[in-house]
């Protein structure tokens, strides 16, 4: 698919400069003229006035007790780092709201009111490609560190290494690397129609493409066929890869595929799906225009929406 890398979280220009990860002296030098992206409990720091990420100078008051340990890479001639402020407890916690993401803004006493920690899912479609890549990388790495403090081989406490890109176990010398879990997400088509489903707990009326985690020993194509058969009872023939999207909530890589259905009768797995239905192109146009009587579109920035809009526009090649 020619436009594959125009998906949200794709097409950034971050140079990861892995050779610097093992050179703490050079990283310390690079930090002086660099910038830091702070995260707090999975939320990313955004600047409502300037728009986009709030990248702070390393001597910002907010960072005085939090030297950035994670080196993200180089962009625009500057080194970019990330740091985790999750240990901080606010006096006035932001009010969480329901829906697909938390829309609360968490401000901090060391920062102006216009700057706040926010759920990346609510802001991802507003970021430049490189900002989105920085945020996805930082969130994915920090989430991994926060849930992988112990060695999977011996159970001992592990320590961060390689500027955040590795964890080492001092007890058994095992090395551990950040995880990325592949998920297939499929545009299942049959003639003029596409198969949409909704999971229990989604906002009312929202439907999207079917998706599921790949299992060990599977190709992407086999995973697409298995998931569609399990969830909706539809048989699938030809499968082809379209585009991918990093999805750091917490650690997925979405693999977008087009799949040709060989049957159209739907048999639901009620554990996975609350409803599924075929939707033709004309209806899909109404859904995206928010004029459909009972289906709402999925979130902006997600690869499902990207694939459906490109299918409608005949731009999957
Ligand atoms: Zn170990």
How long a stretch of residues is the chain?
Answer: 317
In the reported structure, the alpha carbon of residue 117 is separated from the centroid of ligand 1 by a whole-number distance in angstroms of: 34
pLDDT of amino acid 99: 66
In the reported structure, the alpha carbon of residue 151 is separated from the centroid of ligand 1 by a whole-number distance in angstroms of: 5
pLDDT of amino acid 93: 75
Q: How far is 242 from 42, CA to CA, in rounded Å?
A: 29
For 222, the 3-state DSSP assignment is helix
pTM: 0.94
In the reported structure, the alpha carbon of residue 158 is separated from the centroid of ligand 1 by a whole-number distance in angstroms of: 7
pLDDT of amino acid 96: 64
In the reported structure, the alpha carbon of residue 156 is separated from the centroid of ligand 1 by a whole-number distance in angstroms of: 5
In the reported structure, the alpha carbon of residue 162 is separated from the centroid of ligand 1 by a whole-number distance in angstroms of: 17
Q: How far is 83 from 69, CA to CA, in rounded Å?
A: 6
Which residues, in sequence order, are bridge partners of residue 259?
188, 239
Distance of CA 204 to the CA centre of its chain: 23
In the reported structure, the alpha carbon of residue 69 is separated from the centroid of ligand 1 by a whole-number distance in angstroms of: 22
In the reported structure, the alpha carbon of residue 167 is separated from the centroid of ligand 1 by a whole-number distance in angstroms of: 10
In the reported structure, the alpha carbon of residue 70 is separated from the centroid of ligand 1 by a whole-number distance in angstroms of: 22
Q: Are 36 and 81 in contact (CB under 8 A)?
A: yes
In the reported structure, the alpha carbon of residue 149 is separated from the centroid of ligand 1 by a whole-number distance in angstroms of: 11
Angle at 210 between CA 289 and CA 126, to 5 degrees: 50
Burial-class residue 150 by CB neighbours within 10 Å (0-12, 13-18, 19+).
middle
Q: What is the pLDDT along the chain (317 residues), one digit of tens a residue?
A: 999 999 999 999 999 999 999 999 999 999 999 999 999 999 999 999 988 999 999 999 999 988 899 999 999 999 999 999 999 998 877 766 656 667 789 999 999 999 999 999 999 988 999 999 999 999 999 999 999 999 999 999 999 999 999 999 999 999 999 999 999 999 999 999 999 999 999 999 999 999 999 999 999 999 999 999 999 999 999 999 999 999 999 999 999 999 999 999 999 999 999 999 999 999 999 999 999 999 999 889 999 999 999 999 999 99
Q: Supply φ then ψ for residue 126, to 5 degrees.
A: -95, -5
In the reported structure, the alpha carbon of residue 152 is separated from the centroid of ligand 1 by a whole-number distance in angstroms of: 7
In the reported structure, the alpha carbon of residue 168 is separated from the centroid of ligand 1 by a whole-number distance in angstroms of: 8
pLDDT of amino acid 98: 59
Place of tokens 């697409």: 224
In the reported structure, the alpha carbon of residue 178 is separated from the centroid of ligand 1 by a whole-number distance in angstroms of: 16
Respond yes or no on whether the N-terminal peptide bond of residue 23 is cis (omega within 30° of 0). no
Query: Pairing between strand 43-47 and 115-118?
Result: antiparallel
In the reported structure, the alpha carbon of residue 173 is separated from the centroid of ligand 1 by a whole-number distance in angstroms of: 6
Query: Pairing between strand 275-280 and 236-247?
Result: unpaired
pLDDT of amino acid 102: 74
In the reported structure, the alpha carbon of residue 159 is separated from the centroid of ligand 1 by a whole-number distance in angstroms of: 10
């Amino acid at each position: 698919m020619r436009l594959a890398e125009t998906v949200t979280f794709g097409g950034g220009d971050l140079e990861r400069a892995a050779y610097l990860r093992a050179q703490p002296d050079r990283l310390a030098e690079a930090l002086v003229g660099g910038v830091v992206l702070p995260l707090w409990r999975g939320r990313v720091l955004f600047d409502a006035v300037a728009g986009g990420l709030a990248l702070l100078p390393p001597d910002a008051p907010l960072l005085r007790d939090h030297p950035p340990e994670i080196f993200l890479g180089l962009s625009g001639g500057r080194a970019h780092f990330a740091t985790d402020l999750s240990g901080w407890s606010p006096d006035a916690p932001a009010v969480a709201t329901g829906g697909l993401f938390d829309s609360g803004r968490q401000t901090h006493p060391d920062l102006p009111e216009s700057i706040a920690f926010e759920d990346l899912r609510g802001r991802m479609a507003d970021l430049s490609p490189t900002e989105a890549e920085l945020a996805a990388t930082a969130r994915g790495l920090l989430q991994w560190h926060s849930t992988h403090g112990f060695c999977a081989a011996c159970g001992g406490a592990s320590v961060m290494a390689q500027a955040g890109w590795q964890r080492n176990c001092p007890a058994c010398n095992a090395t551990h690397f950040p995880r990325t879990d592949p998920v297939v997400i499929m545009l299942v088509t049959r003639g003029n129609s596409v198969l949409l489903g909704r999971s229990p707990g989604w906002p009312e009326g929202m439907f999207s493409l079917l998706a599921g985690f790949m299992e060990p020993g599977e190709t992407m194509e086999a995973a697409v066929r298995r998931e569609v058969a399990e969830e909706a009872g539809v048989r699938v023939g030809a499968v082809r890869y379209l585009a991918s999207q990093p999805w750091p909530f917490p650690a997925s890589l979405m693999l977008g595929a087009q799949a040709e259905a060989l049957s159209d009768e739907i048999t639901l797995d009620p554990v996975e799906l609350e409803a599924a239905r075929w939707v033709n192109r004309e209806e899909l146009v109404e859904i995206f225009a928010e004029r459909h009587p009972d289906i709402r579109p999925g979130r902006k920035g997600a690869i499902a929406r990207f694939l459906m809009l490109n299918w409608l526009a005949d731009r999957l090649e």
